[in-house]
Amino acid sequence: MREYLKFYIDGQWVDPVTPKTAEVVNPATEAVSGTISLGSPADVDKAVVAARRAFETYSQTSVKERLDLLETIQAEYLRREEELGMAVLEEMGAPRGLACGFHTLLGKGHLGTAIEVLREFKFEEQRGPTMILREPIGVCGLITPWNWPMNQTCVKIFPALATGCTMILKPPQLAPYSAQILAEILHTAGVPAGVFNMVQGQGSVIGTALSTHPDVDMISFTGSEPVGVQIQKDAADTVKRVGLELGGKSAWIVLDDASLAANVAGATSGMMGNSGQTCSAGSRLLVPNARMDEALAAAKEACEAVTVGDPLGNVAMGPVVSKSQYNIIQDYIQKGLDEGATLVAGGLGRPEGLDKGFYCRPTVFKGTNQMVIAREEIFGPVLVIIGYDDLDDAVAIANDSNFGLGGYVSGEDAETCRAVSRRMRTGAIWINGGFDFHAAFGGYKRSGNGREWGEEGFREYLEHKSVVGW
Ligand code: NAD
């Protein structure tokens, strides 16, 4: 049993101002796996005072000093990587291979990328008579979700540290363990007191206290659209900068010349990774109508090959994060059936043999883009396959969405892939797979307004000062 009852404020582990606790449930067993403290606005006040004070000196540190600090953190992160992975496994149910693999790799990747960007970043730039100074924005409130805990946390903390900001992290209540270990890593690595602070608790309490706080300069939020909208409203009175990284319903277009079966299989098993709880998941798979039968056969085979079970075992998919997430996903599967989508694989209920834990069945529908299951973010292992007639039709379907986070294009002809990418209204597109820590990540439309990852991720945390007559 884990017991994380203290917050990290001003370089120390401290008790909450008013003691209040909550249990954390292991999604694989439904048993309580630990207890955390739930903070109050008074804890946020203490953390903001510490961060404001620390900003005076930390904002003046040199690039070399911050590079040294990040490299020390990197060594400590590597030392505790396995522990971080096991915390992710326990808090949100990711299978061991994924939790101790891609989950922690993403955190490590953002740290390494922050170091690389910091080495080259131009904090000062002369343009004619004017010197442009890029300065840290100040005290940042970082609010993160539970679905890729290390990714979301590290992609905020390390650029904020690299640019000279100070911060208060509010981790997700459902998945609070890995953030606690990360705070220990930062402490051991010698992050100066007050630069990094962490208060656990409820979004409506701690998140709101940060968004409305007059001494917080910026909020970086990753999470759902309704909460993002609320944060913008809460932050409006104090004219904060608000970076929003919200949901998605990303289209994966398999072009006519692509190897259809292999791409459909890849897209299907990719969708089930992390139990479908990925904001940029390719949850709408667009295939040529003329080859629909072939696509459905490949999707069915790939979906039924996904192994589901205890995250400690050798499985591809674990449970979803919570009972309520399980229920939401079941409701969407029922909606798909009710609105006449064709069930290709999976369906309602738990996979056979699993009667405890929040396990869903990997599910594939053939549907239309007008169906609810194609319009709303399900955030579970549910893929919708949609047919298109020609390229214009494919692009129109892909863009017919309130969201605009990710996009995927599979095809042999590079020029066609590029042309389709130009026409898709999303913040990131992956052509034939590929991965790049320096590629900015963020949304068009209701997927948000921020950009994280790489150099663009630094700009979120910087003010721009023009000094004319330098
Ligand atoms: P959520 O919006 O419910 O919660 C996210 C965080 O906000 C949590 O820490 C929560 O406690 C906090 N919060 C809740 N109410 C708040 C309030 N009123 N004020 C301030 N903070 C508040 O989202 P979730 O369920 O944790 O995560 C899933 C969502 O996150 C999905 O929509 C997913 O697409 C999105 N997401 C987006 C990205 C991206 O980079 N665009 C990445 C991962 C997840």
| Ligand 1 atom at minimum distance from 230 CA | 18
Q: Which helix (H) or strand (E) holds 211?
A: helix 208-212
Angle at 40 between CA 34 and CA 42, to 5 degrees: 135
Residue 364: predicted pLDDT: 98
Domains 2-246+447-468 and 251-438 belong to one CATH topology: no
The residue whose CA has the least distance to atom 7 of ligand 1 is 203
Query: How much distance in Å is there from the Cα of 245 to the middle of ligand 1?
Result: 9
Which pLDDT value is given to residue 438?
98
Q: Tokens standing for 259?
A: 């190897």
Binning pLDDT at 50, 70 and 90, where does residue 196 land?
Answer: very high
Is any ligand 1 atom within 6 A of the Cβ of residue 457? no
Percent of the chain with pLDDT over 90: 100
**pLDDT digit string (tens) for 419-445?**
999 999 999 999 999 899 999 999 999
Dihedral angle sign, alpha carbons of residues 409, 452, 117, 197: negative
SS3 348: coil
Residues 6+ apart with CB under 8 A from 239: none
| Active site annotation includes 154 | no
pLDDT band with cut points at 50, 70 and 90 for residue 294: very high
Right CATH for 2-246+447-468 from 3.40.50.620, 2.60.40.420, 3.40.605.10, 3.40.50.720 = 3.40.605.10
- Which residue type, as a one-letter code, is found at position 239? V
| Percent of the chain's residues with pLDDT above 70 | 100
Ligand 1 atom closest to the Cα of residue 441 is 40
Q: What is the pLDDT of residue 245?
A: 98
Tens digit of pLDDT for each residue in 222-238?
Answer: 999 999 999 999 999 99
**Which token pair is 44?**
């946020």
Q: Are 20 and 36 in contact (CB under 8 A)?
A: no
Q: Confirm or reject: Cβ of 408 under 6 Å from ligand 1.
A: no
How far does residue 277's CA lie from ligand 1's centre (Å)? 12
Pocket test for ligand 1, best of 143, 332, 403 (most atoms within 8 A of CB): 143
Q: What is the pLDDT of residue 339?
A: 98
Residue with tokens 């809460």: 234
Domain boundaries, the chain: 2-246+447-468, 251-438
Q: How far apart are CA 273 and CA 306, in angstroms?
A: 9
Residue having the nearest C-alpha atom to atom 35 of ligand 1: 223
Over the stretch 102-125, which tens digit does the pLDDT of each residue have?
999 999 999 999 999 999 999 999
pLDDT of residue 9: 98
Sequence-distant (≥ 6) Cβ neighbours of residue 259 within 8 angstroms? none
Q: What is the mean pLDDT of residues 28-45?
A: 98
Contact 373, 273 (CB under 8 A): no
- Residue 87 Cβ contacting ligand 1 at under 6 Å: no
Which of 216, 222, 283 best tests ligand 1's pocket when mutated (most atoms within 8 Å of CB)? 222
Backbone dihedral angles phi then psi of residue 353, each to the nearest 5 degrees: 85, -5
- Position 383 scores a pLDDT of 98
Instruction: Tell me the chain's radius of gyration from C-alpha atoms.
Output: 22
Q: Within 10 Å of residue 161's Cβ, how many Cβ atoms?
A: 26
Name, in order, each residue with C-beta under 8 angstroms of 277's C-beta and a sequence gap of 6 or more.
Answer: 92, 147, 320, 321, 325, 379, 380
Q: State the Cα–Cα distance between residues 226 and 211, nearest whole angstrom.
A: 14
**Cα gap 40→453, rounded to integer Å:** 31
Q: What is the CATH number of domain 251-438?
A: 3.40.309.10
Q: From the candidates 81, 245, 377, 460, give the one annotated as an active-site residue.
A: 245
With beta carbons less than 8 A apart as the criterion, state whether 51 and 71 touch.
no
Q: Region 55-59: what's the mean pLDDT?
A: 98
Q: Which amino acid is at 220?
A: S
| Catalytic residue flag (residue 279) | yes
Choosing from 100, 140, 154, 279, the catalytic residue is 279
Q: How far is the CA of 225 from the centre of ligand 1 (A)?
A: 8
Q: Is 466 in the pocket of ligand 1 (CB under 6 A)?
A: no
What span, in angstroms and rounded, lies between the C-alpha atoms of 136 and 458?
Answer: 9
- Nearest atom (ligand 1) to Cα of 248: 34
Per-residue pLDDT tens for 352-372? Answer: 999 999 999 999 999 999 999
pLDDT at 45: 98
With bands split at pLDDT 50, 70 and 90, how would you rate the model's confidence at 181?
A: very high
Mean pLDDT across the chain, nearest whole number? 98
